[in-house]
Amino acid sequence: MRLMTLLRPLLPRPAGAAHWPSQCLVCRAWPAQTLCADCRSRFAPPATRCQRCALPVPAGVAVCGACLREPPPMAQCLAAVPWQWPWSLCIVRWKFDGDTGLSAPLAALLQATPGVTEALATAELVLPMPMSPQRLAERGYNPALLLARQLAPGRVRPDLLLRTRHTPPQRSLPRAERLRNVRGAFQVDPLAAPALRGRHVLLVDDVMTTGASVREAAAALRAAGADPIGVLVLARTDTPAGR
């Protein structure tokens, strides 16, 4: 094992993988799953989250005060992990550095979140959060689509919800501007709207920050008649930005 550790940087990497599938990306245990069981239980402990927006809430609370005052368009929102180390590191590699081999272990992390299996079992259509054609061209792939395909092969419809306006990355903007930034950015293809009417739709996203994009996308789906609408996100920023 020691010899392998020394040799590893010299050996060719497996085709299509920017990491070693037999080594845990977080703790470097080897041989292990890409995200080993120890790291998953250590860094992704079960958390009580608001059913509607996935922000942390005290035990016994189902819906946070903000969602009670102003119910979001989605009936349910489930998040696997908080947006913090080590998940932020894994997601940045997967999302920005082209390590698409992480789609399967990250999808497994989401699938292990309480409620996700049930949501996937009842959803009729699974939609990835769309990217603008400009951002898709820059990055070459939509991580949310890779995630959705892992979660619900055969039920993924990337063609129904469109991002009709290119917007600056949300992470670069303060809260008030994030809300303005995504207003009207999503649209259901008018020809596809009948496919959504009365259907149980699950929207899949990689990272949720203020939730402004997810709300806007869910509102577009609701306007097209989708009902109910659920959201699955891999990582959630645990403090409402700007508060």
Q: Which residues bind Zn ion (CB under 5 A)?
A: 24, 26-27, 29, 36, 39, 50, 52-53, 64, 67
Gap between the Cα atoms of 97 and 20, Å rounded? 15
**Residue (36 or 195) nearer to Zn ion, CB:** 36
Q: How far is the CB of 29 from Zn ion (least distance, A)?
A: 5
**Residue (55 or 226) nearer to Zn ion, CB:** 55
Gap between the Cα atoms of 48 and 28, Å rounded? 29
Q: How far is the CB of 57 from Zn ion (least distance, A)?
A: 7
Gap between the Cα atoms of 182 and 208, Å rounded? 13
Q: How far is the CB of 52 from Zn ion (least distance, A)?
A: 5
Q: How far is the CB of 50 from Zn ion (least distance, A)?
A: 3
**Residue (30 or 158) nearer to Zn ion, CB:** 30
Gap between the Cα atoms of 144 and 231, Å rounded? 12
What length does the chain have? 243
Gap between the Cα atoms of 129 and 199, Å rounded? 17
Q: How far is the CB of 143 from Zn ion (least distance, A)?
A: 22
In this structure, the strands spanning 201-208 and 125-128 are parallel
Amino acid identity of residue 24, one-letter, is C
**Residue (55 or 160) nearer to Zn ion, CB:** 55
Half-sphere exposure (Cβ direction) of 96: Cα atoms closer than 13 Å: 7
